[in-house]
A and B are shown apart, each in its own frame.
Chain A
Amino acid sequence: MTVRLIRSIVGLALTSAILAVIMYRLNSPLAAVFELSVCSGLISVIFVTTVSFTQRISNEKLAIRRKERLLRFWYLPIILIAAGVLLSQHLLVPHFSWPVLEPAKELDVRNVLWNARHLDLIGQVVMLLAGALGVVVLFKEPKK
């Protein structure tokens, strides 16, 4: 099970790397750098650390869970794929009218981040503090 989890984590890191390339191609280099370094690097490290602290379950339990997983929500992939196909066809019909937007005046990302969206920065700081507090609480040794 651990090997399969590591494979999942590597797949997620590859997805992040591909998304970073797409971002770079779509004129968003700063976000691409963040995606590649943080999402593809740091999150993979966090996941691998978490997996290394846990243990694999026994083969008997694994077989039971695999059977349960197949029986549970067996209809879900059919519904989701059908919904995806329907939505895709709706988006690709030729007579579908998209709203006509005026080309916006492009600003530098630094101006947008520090001037127009400075409340987001405050929110980011609050989130980071909340995350740090959460980690401290989670890893606190219980009193004996």
Chain B
Amino acid sequence: MSQSLMQMFGLFSIFVILLMITGIYCMLVSFNLIRIIIGFEILVKAATLLIISAGYICGRTALAQSIVITLIVIEIVVMVVAGGVALWAFRHNKNIDPRDLGNLKG
């Protein structure tokens, strides 16, 4: 494997780490349910970039694309359900604070 490919993968890895830092920070710090979902979405973007760059380095872009398509389908289902939970929480609590989600049981 050539040195330039390795350098490129190192560069992509830095961006993956930065995206993960941003996503984790967004999820941990925010008190808004929609912002937490956005943080999760940023984490998924980091995973997507890692899969695609690894597939390019190894010469298996077809496999990487099929895995990313599966990931996108799972991502959209999670987003739709999470959006529904946020709306449900707003209906019950009149806010989307995750600390008040304990009121939703029953």
Give the B-binding residues of A (Cβ under 8 A): 1, 5, 8-9, 12, 15-16, 19, 22-23, 26-28, 30-31, 34-35, 38-39, 42-43, 46-47, 49-51, 53-55, 57, 65, 68-69, 72-73, 76-77, 80-81, 83-84, 87-88, 91-92, 98, 100-101, 103-104, 106-109, 111-113, 116-117, 120, 123-124, 127-128, 130-131, 134-135, 138-139
The CA-CA distance from A124 to B75 in the complex, in Å, is 11
Instruction: Assign chain B's interface to a size class.
Output: 35 or more
The CA-CA distance from A95 to B78 in the complex, in Å, is 41
List B residues 74-101 near A (Cβ within 8 Å): 74-81, 83-88, 90, 94-96
Query: Which residues on B sit within 8 Å (CB–CB) of A134?
Result: 77, 80-81, 84
A interface majority secondary structure: helix
Instruction: Knowing that A12-B41, A139-B84 touch, tell me 10 more A-B residue pairs with CB under 8 angstroms.
Output: A30-B65, A31-B65, A38-B72, A54-B87, A69-B31, A91-B13, A92-B10, A92-B14, A106-B61, A124-B70
Task: Return 11 A-B CB contacts under 8 Å, by A number.
Answer: A12-B38, A31-B52, A47-B34, A55-B90, A81-B21, A87-B13, A106-B62, A109-B66, A112-B62, A124-B70, A139-B87
The CA-CA distance from A101 to B37 in the complex, in Å, is 37
The 3 closest A-B pairs by CB, nearest first: A131-B77, A138-B84, A109-B62
Most buried by A among B1, B6, B24, B69: B69
